[in-house]
C-alpha cells in the first residue's frame, strides 16, 4: 500500500485530485490534510468520504509541530502539495496570509518530509504551482518551462518563493521533487470569488458582473478534471527535478469569455438573448493586473502523453450545469464571511 499525503484536498483542484486518486488507485491510501479555510469544504468529497483508502486530517500547514506529528505517524511515501491561499485579489488585501501559508507552510512540509524520510529512495514531493510565477506576457509568446520567474502579485510572488524552496530542498538535501505550473482552472467546486464561478453566481442572482479595467486581459483556461489528470500523469511518469507546464491551449480575453458565459447562461436559464450581458459593469482595474497568461504545454504532451480532453465550450457548459444543479452548495459557501468579502471587494 502506497501512502500519499494530499494537502489542500478540500479545496477546488485538490478535491478533484483526491477523488481521482482514491477511486483510481485502490492500492494507495490517501490522506487529505486541510485546514478548512473559507476555501475548503468537505462537502466537495462527500461521495468518497467512506472509502477505506481515504482519511481526512484537519491541520494547518503553518503549524510545524502538528505537521511533523502527522508525518511521523503516517510515514508517507509521497506528498502532493496543493494547500495554498489562491486568490490574487485577497493577496492584494492581505499579503501576509499568503506568506504564511504559501511560503512558510510549504517549507514546513518540505522540512517534515526531510526530517521523517530516513531514505529518499522511492519518495516524491510533488508541488502544484501556477503559471503566474512567470509574470505577464505581452500580446505574443507563450510561457515555457525555461521562462524566467517574474511574479507581479503577492500571490504569484508567494508561489514563486515556494517553488524556489522546493528546488532548494532538492539541490541542497537531495529531496526528490517535481513541480507543475498550471494555467487558470475552471469547473465544479470552484469558490465563487474567481472570475468564472463568481460571474455564474452573479448571473443567477441578477447582480452586476464586475469586469476589471477594459476586460482586454487574457487567460488560458483549463478544465479542472483535465488538470487532475495531468497531475496524475506527472506524479506517476514525471522525472524527479523536472518542471512541467500544464495549460489548455485555450486563450480567452476576459470580455469575450464573459460574453460567452452570458450567452450560455441565457440559454440555460431560459432568459432573453442579451439579458445576462446587460449585467456587465466595467469597474476599477486590479492593481498590477497581469495582461496575459498562456502556456506552452508541449513538454508534458510529448514526454508524458497528457493533453486536455474537453473543449472549452463543453467544459464551460458542464460547469454551468454543475452550479445550476448545486445551488445549495453555492448558497452555503456564499453565506457568512463571504458577504463581508464581497462588500469590501465590490460595493
Ligand atoms: P483553493 O483556494 O480552492 O483551495 C485551497 C485549499 O487549501 C483549501 O481547501 C484550503 O482550506 C486549504 N488551505 C489553505 N490554507 C491552508 C493551510 N494553512 N493549511 C492547510 N490547508 C490550507 O485553491 P485551488 O484553486 O484548488 O488551488 C490549489 C493549488 O493549485 C494551489 O496551490 C494553487 O496555487 C494552485 N493552482 C491553482 C490554479 C487555479 O486556477 N485555481 C491554477 C494553477 C495552480
Ligand atoms: P481570477 O479568476 O481571479 O484569476 P487570476 O487573477 O488568477 O488569473 O481572474 C481571472 C481574470 O478575470 C483576471 O484577468 C482578473 C479578471 N477578473 C475580473 O475582471 N473581475 C473579477 O471580479 C475577477 C474576480 C477577476
Mean pLDDT of the chain: 98
Judge contact between 227 and 246, C-beta under 8 A.
Answer: yes
For 296-343, the pLDDT digits (tens) are: 999 999 999 999 999 999 999 999 999 999 999 999 999 999 999 999
Residue 219 CA to ligand 2 centre (angstroms):
9
- The pLDDT value recorded for residue 335 is 93
4 lines ligand 1 (CB under 6 A): no
70 lines ligand 1 (CB under 6 A): no
- Which of 223, 308, 292, 216 lies closest to 253, judged by CA? 216
Residue 255 CA to ligand 2 centre (angstroms):
11
Which of 6, 11, 59 has most ligand 1 atoms within 8 Å of CB, for mutation?
11
In a domain, 304, yes or no: yes
Enclosing domain of residue 138: 2-186+221-250+289-311
Can you give 94-122 as a three-state secondary structure string?
CHHHHHHHHHHHHHHHHHHHHHHCCCCCC
For 175-187, the pLDDT digits (tens) are: 999 999 999 999 9
Judge contact between 332 and 181, C-beta under 8 A.
Answer: no
In a domain, 129, yes or no: yes
User: Per the residue annotation, which of 34, 60, 85, 132 is the catalytic one?
Assistant: 132
Residue 1 has pLDDT above 90, yes or no: no
217 lines ligand 2 (CB under 6 A): yes
Residue 161 CA to ligand 2 centre (angstroms):
22
Share of the chain above pLDDT 70, in %: 100
d(CA 167, CA 51) in angstroms, rounded, equals 34
User: Per the residue annotation, which of 54, 134, 155, 217 is the catalytic one?
Assistant: 155
Atom of ligand 1 nearest to the CA of 100: 18
Q: In the chain, how many domains are there?
A: 1
d(CA 79, CA 82) in angstroms, rounded, equals 9
Kindly report the protein residue whose alpha carbon is nearest to atom 29 of ligand 1.
82
346 is catalytic: no
Residue 160 has pLDDT above 90, yes or no: yes
Average pLDDT over residues 195-217: 98
- Which of 198, 230, 228 lies closest to 303, judged by CA? 230
Atom of ligand 2 nearest to the CA of 211: 19
In a domain, 120, yes or no: yes
For 104-144, the pLDDT digits (tens) are: 999 999 999 999 999 999 999 999 999 999 999 999 999 99
132 is catalytic: yes
Q: Which parts of the chain are beta strand (E)?
A: 2-7, 28-34, 54-58, 78-81, 124-130, 177-182, 184-186, 209-212, 218-223, 243-246, 251-253, 280-283
Residue 285 CA to ligand 2 centre (angstroms):
10
Which of 212, 253, 288 has most ligand 2 atoms within 8 Å of CB, for mutation?
212
Measured CA angle at 102 (ends 334, 51), to 5 deg = 65
DSSP, collapsed to helix, strand or coil, labels residue 148 as coil
**CATH number for position 168:** 3.40.50.720
Atom of ligand 2 nearest to the CA of 194: 2
Average pLDDT over residues 276-286: 98
184 lines ligand 2 (CB under 6 A): yes
In a domain, 108, yes or no: yes
Residue 101 has pLDDT above 90, yes or no: yes
d(CA 71, CA 211) in angstroms, rounded, equals 44
- The pLDDT value recorded for residue 52 is 98
For 51-92, the pLDDT digits (tens) are: 999 999 999 999 999 999 999 999 999 999 999 999 999 999
- The pLDDT value recorded for residue 185 is 98
In a domain, 51, yes or no: yes
Which of 194, 247, 344 has most ligand 2 atoms within 8 Å of CB, for mutation?
194
Residue 58 CA to ligand 1 centre (angstroms):
15
Residue 154 CA to ligand 1 centre (angstroms):
15
Residue 18 has pLDDT above 90, yes or no: yes
- Which of 123, 8, 10 lies closest to 61, judged by CA? 8
In a domain, 197, yes or no: no
Using DSSP, how many helices (H) and how many strands (E) does the chain show? 13, 12
296 is catalytic: no
- 295: which DSSP letter? B
Amino acid at each position: 500500500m502506497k501512502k500519499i499525503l494530499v494537502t489542500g484536498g478540500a479545496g477546488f483542484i485538490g478535491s478533484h485530485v483526491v477523488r481521482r486518486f482514491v477511486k483510481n488507485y485502490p492500492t494507495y491510501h490517501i490522506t487529505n490534510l486541510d485546514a478548512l479555510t473559507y476555501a475548503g469544504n468537505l462537502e466537495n468529497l462527500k461521495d468518497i468520504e467512506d472509502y477505506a483508502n481515504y482519511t481526512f486530517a484537519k491541520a494547518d500547514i503553518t503549524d510545524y509541530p502538528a505537521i511533523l506529528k502527522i508525518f511521523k505517524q503516517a510515514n508517507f511515501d509521497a506528498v502532493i502539495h496543493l494547500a495554498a491561499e489562491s486568490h490574487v485579489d485577497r493577496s492584494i488585501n492581505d499579503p501576509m496570509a499568503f506568506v504564511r501559508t504559501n511560503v512558510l507552510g510549504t517549507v514546513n512540509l518540505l522540512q517534515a518530509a526531510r526530517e521523517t524520510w530516513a531514505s529518499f529512495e522511492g519518495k516524491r514531493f510533488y508541488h502544484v504551482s501556477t503559471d503566474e510565477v512567470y509574470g505577464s506576457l505581452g500580446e505574443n509568446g507563450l510561457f515555457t518551462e525555461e521562462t524566467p520567474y517574474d511574479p507581479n502579485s503577492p500571490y504569484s510572488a508567494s508561489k514563486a518563493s515556494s517553488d524556489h524552496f522546493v528546488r532548494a530542498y532538492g539541490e541542497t538535501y537531495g529531496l526528490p521533487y517535481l513541480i507543475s505550473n498550471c494555467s487558470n482552472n475552471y469547473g465544479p467546486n470552484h469558490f465563487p470569488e474567481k472570475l468564472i464561478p463568481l460571474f455564474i453566481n452573479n448571473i443567477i442572482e441578477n447582480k452586476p458582473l464586475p469586469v476589471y479595467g477594459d476586460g482586454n486581459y487574457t487567460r488560458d483556461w483549463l478544465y479542472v478534471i483535465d488538470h487532475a489528470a495531468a497531475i496524475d500523469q506527472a506524479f506517476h511518469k514525471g522525472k524527479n527535478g523536472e518542471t512541467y507546464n500544464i495549460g489548455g491551449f485555450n486563450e480567452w480575453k476576459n470580455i469575450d469569455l464573459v460574453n460567452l458565459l452570458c450567452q450560455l447562461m441565457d440559454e440555460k436559464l431560459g432568459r432573453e438573448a442579451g439579458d445576462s450581458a446587460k449585467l456587465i459593469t466595467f469597474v476599477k482595474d486590479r492593481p498590477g493586473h497581469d495582461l496575459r497568461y498562456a502556456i506552452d504545454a508541449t513538454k508534458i504532451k510529448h514526454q508524458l502523453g497528457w493533453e486536455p480532453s474537453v473543449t472549452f465550450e463543453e467544459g464551460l457548459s458542464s460547469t454551468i450545469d454543475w452550479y445550476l444543479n448545486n445551488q445549495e452548495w453555492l448558497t452555503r459557501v456564499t453565506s457568512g464571511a463571504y458577504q463581508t468579502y464581497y462588500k469590501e471587494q465590490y460595493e
